[in-house]
Structure 1
């Protein structure tokens, strides 16, 4: 019983985790704000060019894929809950509360770049869209996408650099504390230092702005829900034409993101970067799906699938591995490895996760955090829905 496992979705989720790690490696090395203040670090001209390359090809274009898959998976979970005759909203809400709690623990005790807290809150927003038709989801997604792009109008490379220059003192202190400090020093800095307050942003306004940003930024999740309701990625061989048409978004997204750096202070460049990030994300999504049908090499895509099946566990383990390498309570290499070597480290860490995930799945069905999520969702120690409820659903249908 339950929905059929979609191996293409597992593989895409694994791919997105590689891109997320590549983007997050800059934050692990230089901090959440320091990654955009390269002049405060000893970075060569060649690495500066490579940094721009990563900003165009990676940054902001893999997180939307993960968000798309979150919305996609939410619809599939609802279908499974309906089949089991379980309460959809309360069961899904428990899963999102679990993500909120895990995200809080992750962001407070490990790393400030957490996404799970935001995903959990977004999931609660998405409960209001569960019963909406696919067309309604698409309309909302397009409207919110357009609003997000409009909010980026007026932003440019020069404007953001001017704002970031006021954060140099914070970045310099972060570099010292994260590179040389103990775990408690880093924890205290993360909890008590807030550069937004130094920029004059009222403390009470920050959570309001964050919630607004979460709501207006739910459009990739809605696109994912739309895709699930339209049956995308369920029959790859039959959907090859769809993937081929979607490939046009790849060069279009690259051009839009490149324009952000080429246009300098032009007021349109910020909007182009946001739009380009989404177009490129969609292009990557369709490109990977196209190769999935064209290459016909299950072992190659299986590598990504192993990581994707343990996405939650692998995401948290990336934090543990990288903070141990870069922070003072570990190897203390914060700000020292460099952008190129940091990308090579991304490959090494991900390659290790591929083989660990493959080994793990030979011995266990689900990852430790995936199992914890299922326990919290279904309120059973086995992490499976209660059979009694499933049987009651069968009797009611007969």
Structure 2
């Protein structure tokens, strides 16, 4: 059954899944915080050629890459619908409540993307959440079907894009190839493969430099980077949000199912997804992480397969919550989820301070494996501060600010 917490009638199950998601998303983001951009797609691009580093990449690819962002998207859809339902129950305007929240979230996302870190997802969530609002009254099974269709369309689009990149590569490598085709292929290969020495040196110098230079790049040549990155994930993000709305309506995400059902869904999802993703990881490594393979398998095929593992992750977490009621560790993870907005932005502040030149300047200095020492330290920090704070205050600091701005008046924060 659904559990509640303190004064806000919250579902602890939603909080715990969100807490796992906000911590788990750092498993992939840490690479983007600390290494040149191409290293996110291939460990061979920078500091990841050892067997241990390749094993770390493969493990994250199978278990975390796209799955934690997906879990976060599912939880966003569920939480968004819950806020709308509560507004309706109080006879408040659901549209005003929702779009006020999304407008401020868009602004927070823009500040995050341009003033803190380019890898923001809040702008994407604000835009896609504004669209998801129109599906709030859709029946549960229709939300599931439409969500799966949207994810499938995204996967097909990426597969077609992979096909076009393959044609470009074949044309560019053919004898007497047109110079413009060669240029286009080399640009794609540099973005998703081994970076040319000059581009690598430029990126290392930028993020080892001062804040003013980084900000100038974000507002200048790199202005469209966060927006372009989010566009390629728009359809599957909407699909996952709809699945989250279905998960709320069905009671799946609120912990209302029995443990056997959660165990069955976890087992099924893992049996479907993990062997396929392991095969993709092995093929990608065997092909030397070339751009065509990355688009065809890492992007297109993974987009289609990930929902099975995302569902399995959610089911396993919820099984754990139902099996460990009253656990202090679950309470800490749930508190991390209640303060997910603050923890997400806070993680960016901490990690950019650790890696960028205006902080400790460790950008490009650690191996892929060593980065996970930083991840563990950030996780400990999240778990240590969230619960004591929420024992004294109703919301996390940014949750309170977002709520106050969206409601156009300061909200009480002390309990």
TM-score using structure 1 length: 0.85
> C-alpha displacement at 1:22, in angstroms?
1.4
State the distance in 2 between where 1:309 and 1:189 align: 34
Most deviating of 12-21 and 185-194? 185-194
Equivalent position of 2:356 in the other structure: 327
- Closer, same or farther: CA 356–210 of 1 in aligned 2, 3 Å: closer
Residue number among 192, 214, 233 corresponding to 2:253 in the alignment: 233
The count of corresponding residues between Structure 1 and Structure 2 is: 374
Equivalent position of 2:202 in the other structure: 173
Establish whether residue 26 from structure 1 lines up as the match of residue 31 from structure 2: yes
The runs of 5 or more residues in structure 2 that have no matched partner are 1-5, 170-187, 288-292
State the distance in 2 between where 1:235 and 1:282 align: 14
CA RMSD of aligned residues (A): 2.8
Note if contact 1:253-1:280 (Cα within 8 Å) is conserved in structure 2: yes
Residue number among 345, 351, 354 corresponding to 1:316 in the alignment: 345
Establish whether residue 12 from structure 1 lines up as the match of residue 12 from structure 2: no
Establish whether residue 53 from structure 1 lines up as the match of residue 72 from structure 2: no
Alignment of 1:277-296 (within 5 A): 277-296=306-325
State the distance in 1 between where 2:381 and 2:228 align: 40
Note if contact 2:41-2:193 (Cα within 8 Å) is conserved in structure 1: no
Most deviating of 244-253 and 301-310? 244-253
Most deviating of 347-356 and 44-53? 44-53
Equivalent position of 2:215 in the other structure: 187
Q: Once the two structures are superposed, what CA deviation does each residue of 1:292-322 show, in whole Å capped at 9, x if it has no partner?
A: 2224452121121111111000111100000
Note if contact 2:121-2:230 (Cα within 8 Å) is conserved in structure 1: no
> C-alpha displacement at 1:233, in angstroms?
3.1
The runs of 5 or more residues in structure 1 that have no matched partner are 198-205, 385-398
Note if contact 1:13-1:308 (Cα within 8 Å) is conserved in structure 2: yes
- Closer, same or farther: CA 188–142 of 1 in aligned 2, 3 Å: same
State the distance in 2 between where 1:65 and 1:382 align: 29
Most deviating of 214-223 and 282-291? 214-223
Q: Once the two structures are superposed, what CA deviation does each residue of 1:303-358 show, in whole Å capped at 9, x if it has no partner?
A: 21111111000111100000000000000000112222211211111111111112
Residue number among 243, 261, 268 corresponding to 1:242 in the alignment: 261
Alignment of 1:54-93 (within 5 A): 54-93=60-99
- Closer, same or farther: CA 367–259 of 1 in aligned 2, 3 Å: same
SS in 2 for 1:66: helix
Residue number among 303, 307, 312 corresponding to 1:274 in the alignment: 303
> C-alpha displacement at 1:60, in angstroms?
0.9
TM-score using structure 2 length: 0.82
Alignment of 1:106-117 (within 5 A): 106-117=112-123
State the distance in 2 between where 1:343 and 1:366 align: 29
Note if contact 2:280-2:297 (Cα within 8 Å) is conserved in structure 1: yes
> C-alpha displacement at 1:4, in angstroms?
2.6
Note if contact 2:336-2:383 (Cα within 8 Å) is conserved in structure 1: yes
- Closer, same or farther: CA 122–278 of 1 in aligned 2, 3 Å: same
Note if contact 2:150-2:239 (Cα within 8 Å) is conserved in structure 1: yes
Note if contact 1:31-1:174 (Cα within 8 Å) is conserved in structure 2: yes
Equivalent position of 2:44 in the other structure: 39
Equivalent position of 2:156 in the other structure: 150
